Amino acid sequence: MLTKIKEEDSRRVGGACPIPDCPKFAEIAPTMPLSELPVGQVGIISHTTHTTFGPGLADRLAALGLVKGRRVEVLRYGAWGGPIHIRVGLTTEIAIRRQEAATIILESVSSGELV
């Protein structure tokens, strides 16, 4: 999704976009499933999708702290399609199956620095 930079922002920097060759558009990070987040990256949970796992999965994920607005970071991926080791918030670390991680949709993604 693209969003237009406000005209007053461009006037403040001398009438030009601060990025060379910028078409005066800034790209917003797209949503992505937790299962595709690279190691060391941080995302904010947007929602969980309904799958063949049933509604009980969303309740179980919420009990583990995986709720909307929570910060998650991928610490490592298990070998041969094994579980994903993640940090939820600042102190909780859990491992979940990749299929379950695919149901968790992130709304923003950044580097592994504290958010």
Which CATH number do you get for residue 51? 2.30.30.90
Among candidate residues 53, 68, 56, 74, the one with its CA nearest the CA of residue 104: 68
pLDDT in tens, 75-104: 999 998 889 999 999 999 999 999 999 999
pTM for this model (two decimals): 0.67
Amino acid identity, position 100: E
State the pLDDT at residue 56: 81
Among candidate residues 50, 56, 30, 44, the one with its CA nearest the CA of residue 103: 50
Residue 115 in domain: no
- Expressed as residue numbers, the domain containing 1 is 1-28
Q: Do residues 53 and 105 both lie within one domain?
A: yes
> Going residue by residue through the chain (115 aa), what tens digit of pLDDT does each one get?
334 444 444 333 444 444 444 444 334 447 889 999 999 999 999 988 877 777 788 888 888 999 999 999 999 999 988 899 999 999 999 999 999 999 999 987 776 554 4
